[in-house]
Chains A and B, each alone.
Chain A
């Protein structure tokens, strides 16, 4: 995305607990902690697996594909941000039921967004001082032939 098209966004404060999530976009990868003992993805990130309470968590890439569980077309200018109206959605990653992100649906007319729509991650880089953050947004997953 050309830098001039990048809207203002409030950025997350990075820590050892969340850095993998907010910087995976540098490699084009959506990343979550995953329990190496029972396979559960853990989000938001914490230091123990919520299923087995074990500490054997490692950062893993996922496919970046997800499903729209619900959404809203926002018309209210709350603060500087994307051009109005924009879509806020809750998406669930295809790898595991219940692992969800609040995000924006982009590269899609706002009226075309639907519950159940398959989407894939795209990253928006924000440079702040000497630190970069990659915001994971989602766009419609195009079927073969439309690429």
Chain B
């Protein structure tokens, strides 16, 4: 039996989401606060109960729209008294901030931690689209690249779309993975988004639509890339012994994964067919008696469709290199399949809420509150995972009776 790890002292007591849209042109702090207050109410708490904040990535001006609010913005707007807080970028993925909160309540630094992530990348791009948000303003004004970007920007490779495309290409080369297989991640997301009132793109998409879409960076096409949007998501992490004070039985944090054992970059990682998710996923299963076969719900990052394929292998839902055959035809990952995947439509169709959307959806599904898109049969064990490239963090969650 696995040791009683600290994360089991933490639960998720509430979740909240603001209005979500392609371009809302709303005040990003206002979106953030909508999500935060909704999550606090959902837990059956009041702002006075909140004594911790955790967020990713904290206050950032660049790239435009990447961060709707930081710790201090939310603390001050809600006049919260905090015992503990954190906000930052160098974490095991976007959900690394939630995992920090889990650790904070597990060691009694805080009791109820408000965790949030908000974006306004849709509005920030505006009508000029992607070119408006490229590093260095697209190269004017004598801008010079430093840090990791010096190894990519001079080669006209400014986007994670290209970096992830190269992982996908290597996977295609080693394992015979096809575009038709990769397409299932996008088609499945679109089918699920149609049932999500907060989804951004809800019109049906066919395999023909997918194959006819313009290429971005081979083998990735437009529909392999998530959609920039505006919106905020919040979750409340609480100490497990507060369960009697909560509105409903909380979601149990069963285990987490945070490891990064290869080189922390997009082009020096040892195995170019996988990413940091390999290490986080492997680690998670050492911290629980549950097995991949016990999971009934997988909400896993799809900033680009290939990242979800990497997470499927990383979490042990299939073997290394087997994600293509695993998703073939799409029935296995459908809402009524053996492993329902990205049941809210993922970031590919429901908007790039940047990691937190997956955790939100996992909790809503485990509570049986997902409405039209509810997975049948009452799932009791789910995975929320986020991050691509050198970023990865994941949580195994269970429904408490």
| A interface residue numbers (CB < 8 A to B) | 7-13, 15, 18, 44, 69-82, 85-86, 88-90, 98, 100-104, 115, 128, 133, 135, 137
Q: Are B215 and A75 in contact (CB under 8 A)?
A: yes
Q: Tell me whether A12 and B146 are in contact (CB under 8 A).
A: yes
| A85 surroundings in chain B (CB, below 8 A) | 215
**CB neighbours of A86 from chain B (8 A):** 156
Name B residues whose Cβ lies closer than 8 Å to a Cβ of A: 130-131, 134-136, 138-139, 142-146, 150-159, 161-163, 165-167, 169-170, 173, 214-220, 266-268, 270, 272
Contacts known (A13-B146, A90-B267); A115 close to B139, Cβ less than 8 A: no
Chain A residue numbers with a CB within 8 Å of B151 are 44, 101-102
Residues of A within 8 A of B267 (CB): 90, 100-102
Considering the chains assembled together, what is the distance between the CA atoms of A74 and B219 in angstroms?
9
Additional A-B contacts beyond A11-B144, A70-B169, A70-B272 (20; CB < 8 A): A9-B153, A9-B155, A9-B156, A11-B145, A12-B144, A13-B144, A13-B146, A44-B151, A70-B167, A73-B217, A75-B215, A75-B216, A76-B159, A78-B134, A78-B159, A79-B134, A82-B156, A85-B215, A100-B268, A104-B156
Task: Identify which of A8, A18, A90 contacts B272 (C-beta below 8 A).
Answer: A90
Structural contact, B145 and A78, CB atoms closer than 8 A:
no
Shortest C-beta distance, A137 to chain B (Å), equals 8
Contact status of A98 and B170, CB under 8 A, knowing A12-B146, A72-B217: no
The answer to whether A8 and B139 have CB atoms under 8 Å apart is yes
In the assembled complex, which residues on chain B have CB atoms less than 8 Å from the CB atom of A7?
156
Q: A70-B170, A102-B157, A104-B155 are contacts. A76–B217 as well, Cβ < 8 Å?
A: yes
With A86-B156, A102-B267 as given contacts, are A78 and B166 in contact (CB-CB < 8 Å)? no
Q: Which residues of A contact B215 (CB under 8 A)?
A: 73, 75, 85
Which residues from chain A contact B167 at a C-beta distance below 8 Å?
70
Cβ B145 vs Cβ A10 within 8 A: yes
